[in-house]
Structure 1
């Protein structure tokens, strides 16, 4: 069984991410390349930094692009597309049949479940693991609600559904599938891996931790515990669990890291029961950043509400300026840090004491620690980071300080207008609640990266 993301007050060794590059003012270090501490190694982002270049008419490939998508949107005018572009959405992950891709503006792209020359990829299916089951039986061609799904009643044919849908996609087209609770909760690792490694290039799974009335049960979210049981609300309705879902899917990819995993986050109420309110902006922000910290290479918002205070197919258009403004700010932060998020990872370089998940990245010689709460109230958390420039040779092979490479006085907390003191790679900060997100920037590095 898998360990919960809500483990309390453990000393965790978490990943750090750094791109190869030269350190300003230290030519000798750059000449011999990175010099990493023992036990630390570089790891490319899933699928590689130029993943999308392998497809015809694919999504943009480069450090400035992180897919920020809307699931099954509807675009029937250029005004609608412009409204969502202003929110920082750059991708439609499938569209309603009355939509027109010609309405999309600059920097907007779409994946569709039907052939369209303007599409940048194909959507193969949604939650096939749940409605067709883990098996190679013949598929009838029916989708849920259309009759028997598998040609032989009582058999499983989910793998065949994926294969048959992919067979109809033109060669060299990027393909995408979204999976569900079968992969994350109900199936064995081998069965789930059969779906994750199926006939698609990019994969995600949607677990709606904030709003699903059933997900806290022992047979669903409770399976993340060593001994499955019902989760408390504090354990279940936690942004860190969106990172857990990403971890679950990434753990099944074979070879490890060979395909990108995207994350789903709801911005409305996907359940018609309406027993739980839609998530607040702070929760959405924390879920997005938890997913990215755990290795998601794209974000997909579920933007429909079937219950709650604002039932709508277009939550981000219809359900208030506060929500739209909050999503726009989240997306702007992700877009601003896209070059950082697309950097390679450096595993084993960061130690955290406290209930926080974190990853380290680097861009143009600066280090970034991206950290999100892993419990409802982490409180004070201590970090120790290798490769921080220091005045002595104690940490990370530190080089002597020079005028061209001064020791930074502290780490800037991105977007918060403050700094935290840093002493030979060690720093402390407070994470007030389960929605806490802190993004730290360190000037320079001391590992020739």
Structure 2
């Protein structure tokens, strides 16, 4: 049985502690290779990446280099339970919740309306039959009536923050190695870590062992909007595997860079696994001092930032332990007490979480294609993919608001960009278009037909 913490989450502060645009641009179907292709770009260089990450080239659009990946949805086909459960479908993207305890179909229906399809952490008396009957997934062991061969139990969550719990680090590694042996080959193993595995507080050799030796999917939690890390003196974010600038530390951009840093650690052994990301849906702090609560705009932007930086799953920290609004299950509070003083705040955040989750879910067939690298312009952090005759550009700023001009790569020749859900369009001239990002949390979705 996986180890469940005595409280729903340990303190990230003690453990180690965007404007976003999604642009769909029409391209000629003749330019596609096979049934689909994809392209991605980011401003951040990869000069520190292992050589194997720099090899692949394509002639599809401007001879762009590919972003290395683990294989998208096809990755899950090697695990029998995940394959039977449809995780290898291009339309599936894992979106999960931590200690989102459920006791009824009604509760799961509410969660599904907010885009949740996967659960981690649960009261051990939970009836496992709720998962197959509602077509959602449980990553763990030990529930009432659980079947370890069920397609609705595709993987096992080994433990939370073993890198920050055990001393010395080797004790945590031995703990995970023992848990890994109990999983079997039909399910995948997953673990979540603190930012120690991408920071300066742990030997690099131990960071690489934690990230690479025990899991088939891995994540790091670091709640930039709602913990004091950005104000610490001396500031240490510049020592991360991918440096986090202090000037833009408390922005959505930092969540994306965190996932990029984890991908860098994961790539060190020459093998890639899905890297997932954790975001607080209300608060990421426990104990004093009281921390700020993430806003609806911030949590949406943080999620999109991690997607741009190649996160393969979104998972939500679902508790609040500081300040006036404290809850062991924010989602349930939003469902059952939406008109109380704190309930109104919970509901606003959970509704926003649902918006971004469902946007990601709708884009799963695009997100599950491989990406290519392209820099669209100064101050833009971006991802470009090709799918079924369209190019999709996911873009955010570098943590600062303002106007940005995008330069399209060769092979993309749309004449106008439609801004979805905003009833406006933008002209494309000389392969360039310009848009404004009112805040670092702003994001848009663009689409244009060809000519």
TM-score, L = length of structure 2: 0.77
Answer 1 or 2: higher relative contact order, Cα 8 Å, separation at least 6: 2
Aligned equivalent of 2:424, options 414, 418, 422: 418
Describe the shift of the 1:416–1:45 C-alpha distance in structure 2 as closer, same or farther (beyond 3 A): farther
Q: Tell me the equivalent position of 2:207.
A: 192
Measured in 2, the distance between the counterparts of 1:17 and 1:49 equals 22
Describe the shift of the 1:243–1:43 C-alpha distance in structure 2 as closer, same or farther (beyond 3 A): closer
**Segment of structure 1 superposing worse, 337-346 or 285-294:** 337-346
Q: Tell me the equivalent position of 1:280.
A: 295
- Deviation beyond 6 Å, 4+ runs, structure 1: 27-31, 225-228
Matched residues, number: 382
Aligned equivalent of 2:260, options 233, 247, 251: 247
Aligned equivalent of 1:381, options 404, 407, 416: 404
Measured in 2, the distance between the counterparts of 1:74 and 1:212 equals 25
* SS of 2:80 mapped into structure 1: coil
Do residues 162 (structure 1) and 176 (structure 2) align?
yes
Aligned equivalent of 1:264, options 278, 298, 301: 278
Quick check: 2:308–2:382 contact (8 Å CA) kept in 1? Answer: yes
Aligned equivalent of 1:41, options 53, 61, 65: 65
Displacement of 1:101 in angstroms is 2.2
Aligned equivalent of 1:52, options 57, 76, 100: 76
Displacement of 1:415 in angstroms is 2.8
Displacement of 1:30 in angstroms is 7.9
Report Cα offsets for 1:46-72 as digits up to 9, x if no partner. Answer: 344401111021152121111110012
Higher radius of gyration, 1 or 2: 1
Displacement of 1:364 in angstroms is 0.9
Q: Tell me the equivalent position of 2:90.
A: 63
Measured in 2, the distance between the counterparts of 1:283 and 1:274 equals 21
Quick check: 2:407–2:432 contact (8 Å CA) kept in 1? Answer: yes
Trace 1:13-412 onto structure 2 (pairs within 5 A): 23-24=28-29, 26=30, 35-36=59-60, 39-43=63-67, 45-58=69-82, 59=85, 60-104=87-131, 105-114=133-142, 116-117=146-147, 118=150, 119-133=153-167, 135=169, 156-185=170-199, 186-214=201-229, 216-217=231-232, 218=234, 220-224=236-240, 235-254=248-267, 255=269, 258-270=272-284, 271-273=286-288, 275-318=290-333, 319-320=343-344, 321-347=347-373, 349-353=374-378, 355-377=379-401, 379-390=402-413, 408-412=414-418
Displacement of 1:417 in angstroms is 2.4
Describe the shift of the 1:369–1:28 C-alpha distance in structure 2 as closer, same or farther (beyond 3 A): closer
Do residues 439 (structure 1) and 445 (structure 2) align?
yes
Quick check: 2:72–2:369 contact (8 Å CA) kept in 1? Answer: no
Quick check: 1:94–1:113 contact (8 Å CA) kept in 2? Answer: no
Describe the shift of the 1:239–1:184 C-alpha distance in structure 2 as closer, same or farther (beyond 3 A): same
Q: Which runs of 5+ in 2 are unaligned?
A: 1-21, 38-57, 334-342
Displacement of 1:222 in angstroms is 4.5
Q: CA RMSD of the aligned region, Å? A: 3.0
Quick check: 1:122–1:173 contact (8 Å CA) kept in 2? Answer: yes
**Segment of structure 1 superposing worse, 185-194 or 309-318:** 185-194
Measured in 1, the distance between the counterparts of 2:70 and 2:23 equals 12
Describe the shift of the 1:216–1:247 C-alpha distance in structure 2 as closer, same or farther (beyond 3 A): farther
Quick check: 2:418–2:447 contact (8 Å CA) kept in 1? Answer: yes
Quick check: 2:241–2:261 contact (8 Å CA) kept in 1? Answer: no
Quick check: 2:242–2:257 contact (8 Å CA) kept in 1? Answer: no
More helix by share: 2
Describe the shift of the 1:444–1:45 C-alpha distance in structure 2 as closer, same or farther (beyond 3 A): farther
Quick check: 2:240–2:261 contact (8 Å CA) kept in 1? Answer: no
Measured in 2, the distance between the counterparts of 1:23 and 1:256 equals 35
Describe the shift of the 1:356–1:308 C-alpha distance in structure 2 as closer, same or farther (beyond 3 A): farther
